[in-house]
Amino acid sequence: MDKKLKLYMIMLGCKPDGRFTEQHDIFFGIGTSLKDLVPQMKAFWPEAKGKIHIDAWREVTHVNNHHIEIVPRKHADESITEKLFFLNLGGYKENDFEEYHYKMLAVSKTLGLATRKSKTTAFFKHCGFKGAESHIDEKYGVDVDDRYRVDDMLPAASKLLYSLKITKSETVIEDDQLHIGYVKISSLK
């Protein structure tokens, strides 16, 4: 079994007490398996009282033709200018009582450049109509719901121990496989 540390992006779901519909949030963690991350996931969303599940996940090893590796913080190369960003795009379909979201990762030098990349996606171009344009919420004066540097989203203990090493690939590489579908936390082996 591979014991190499990897970055994971996980969409967690639960229906907290007092809510009428399932809620979702994105969790980033560093571990050797999903099971390793269970205590961190539960700590991340205490209001769920441990009643969370996974709706989607991926190992984050390749993004935008870049390799993503986990290295000890003491071996971090501070001269690397490329950063890994998470963006949550929001959009609508006419006559559909829903806000749709597209979660993406982008490697870029700045948050502004990563945001520009997000606006070239098919989701951004096609999920919206006059009066309800696709967006990246007005929070930053641009049209994106949420946007963050991934290393800022990691649990505090992981930030102290590890760093993301991002290197451009000389050959074309595909982004990581997405695993979509309900996974009970208790079923992780």
Q: What is the mean pLDDT of residues 156-177?
A: 92
């000890």: which residue's tokens?
Answer: 72
Backbone angles phi, psi at 179, to 5 degrees: -110, 110
Query: What is the residue extent of each domain of the chain?
Result: 6-187
Share of the chain above pLDDT 70, in %: 88
Average pLDDT, stretch 59-72? 95
pLDDT at residue 63 tops 90: yes
Asked whether 128 and 141 are in contact (CB, 8 A), the reply is no
Q: How far apart are CA 159 and CA 32, in angstroms?
A: 16
So what's the pLDDT on residue 13?
Answer: 96
pLDDT in tens, 140-157: 333 456 789 999 999 999
Mean pLDDT of the chain: 86
Task: Render pLDDT for 72-121 as a digit per residue (tens, 0 to 9).
Answer: 998 787 777 899 999 988 877 788 898 888 889 999 999 888 888 887 77
Please indicate whether residue 189 or residue 138 has the higher confidence score (pLDDT): 189
Residue 79 tokens, joined = 């001269």
Residue 133: what pLDDT? Answer: 66
β-partners of residue 25 are 12
